[in-house]
Amino acid sequence: MALYIGVSEAISPLPTITLSQLTSTLGAQLRGDGALCIGGMASLDQASEQQLSFCTSSRDQERLQHTRAGAVLLTDQLAPLCNTACIIVDDVRLAYAKASQHFSPTLPPPSVHASAVIDPTAQLADSAHVGPLCHIAAGAFIGERAVLESGAIIGCDSHIDDDCHIGPHAVICHGCQLGKRTSIGSGSVIGGDGFGFAWVNAERRWEKIAQLGRVLIGDDVEIGSLSTIDRGALDDTTIGNGVKIDNQVHLGHGVQVGDHCAFAGNTTVAGSTRFGSWCRIGGGAIINGHLDIGAGASITGSSSVMRDIPERATVGSVIPASDMRKWLRTTTLLPRLQDLFRRVSTIEQRSQSR
């Protein structure tokens, strides 16, 4: 009874690559049989003989010696410890990143699923892929090779540039713009209304402030699952190029994020805060509104930011968890700190007056 589509939209089997091809792609040096076919990656412990692994530290020496991986990415310092084929590189983590990309599922071919709903005034590149049950509203633009996964919603007059990837059930609200090669994770909402109300004192109630700005996102941005970036109240919310945002992050209305910032999971940023480029924000941080966070600043996870932060500063207010019974006793002392400072001052004065 359901809408079975005649041709399966299966993803292709994982691609394979020979060690010599891979080594040449990475601009690296190979020790071992270049004809070996590699079909995926795994950790040193889990890798099979058809898989590539990597080793970044001599602390993993034992795991390296016992790995059954077909080949291992490592530096020339670690190569002597390895009993299997080696791809020798300078920056192992970067080589791992580049190698891993060979083994992601291939992108779906250009096509528009019969169940997708597309307004006749939307512009859709022929090379785009629109999955089942997507909705593309009036005036929206979808660029070359863009991929919209099942259930993605693209609002009126929004702009999705070339090679973007919109995850299942992601929502891009009206008028928002995404640059090239930008990826939005499953269920994330770009351009929902910001949280803006005026207090009506006479009636003791809130009056809504219409959220008239947009969200403008640069190139090469990646946003995880179930994150929210609110549209500006007046001026636009802006996300620079190369910014990486994890899951369940919330950026309020009018936030401005410089290029190549990274926000870990569950971070909350209130409205109108500005980040310079290359900031790094740890998971669960809460950042107040209307602040200036200098370029290159680091905010430790679990911290609460209530003041401007200078460039390249590293700030935090996290308290590491410890035995709960002892910690509860400590928390009962905190309100008595002011008194303790006074008592110590009194003692000092007395001792001086002697």
Indicate the residue among 80 and 142 with the shorter CB distance to a copy of itself.
Answer: 142
**188 contacts 226 by C-beta, under 8 angstroms:** yes
Element (H, E) at 299: strand 298-299
Distance of CA 127 to the CA centre of its chain: 26
Quote the least distance from Cβ 78 to a copy of itself, whole Å: 17
SS3 for 42-69 is CCCCCCCCCEEEECCCHHHHHHHHHCCC
Entry field: residues in the chain: 354
Q: Tell me the C-alpha distance between 53 and 71, whole Å.
A: 6
Indicate the residue among 58 and 80 with the shorter CB distance to a copy of itself.
Answer: 58
Tokens of 40: 């995926």
Q: Tell me the C-alpha distance between 136 and 78, whole Å.
A: 52
Catalytic site includes residue 253 = yes
Q: Tell me the C-alpha distance between 74 and 64, whole Å.
A: 10
Tokens of 305: 């930011």
**18 contacts 36 by C-beta, under 8 angstroms:** yes
Tokens of 309: 């932060």
Kind of pairing between the strands at 205-208 and 197-200 = antiparallel
Q: Tell me the C-alpha distance between 285 and 306, whole Å.
A: 11
**252 contacts 194 by C-beta, under 8 angstroms:** yes
Segment 336-343 long-range contacts (CB within 8 Å, at least 24 positions apart) = none
Quote the least distance from Cβ 52 to a copy of itself, whole Å: 10
Quote the least distance from Cβ 87 to a copy of itself, whole Å: 15
- Residue with token string 């004809």: 35
Q: Tell me the C-alpha distance between 354 and 351, whole Å.
A: 5
Indicate the residue among 4 and 80 with the shorter CB distance to a copy of itself.
Answer: 4
Indicate the residue among 7 and 35 with the shorter CB distance to a copy of itself.
Answer: 7
Quote the least distance from Cβ 201 to a copy of itself, whole Å: 8
Quote the least distance from Cβ 342 to a copy of itself, whole Å: 10
Indicate the residue among 32 and 265 with the shorter CB distance to a copy of itself.
Answer: 265
Quote the least distance from Cβ 247 to a copy of itself, whole Å: 4
Indicate the residue among 80 and 256 with the shorter CB distance to a copy of itself.
Answer: 256
Nearest by Cα to 165 from 141, 140, 182: 182
Quote the least distance from Cβ 306 to a copy of itself, whole Å: 4
Q: 159, 253, 260, 290: which is the annotated catalytic residue?
A: 253
Indicate the residue among 177 and 211 with the shorter CB distance to a copy of itself.
Answer: 211
At a CB cut-off of 8 Å and minimum separation 6, what does 354 contact?
Answer: none
Residues labelled catalytic: 253
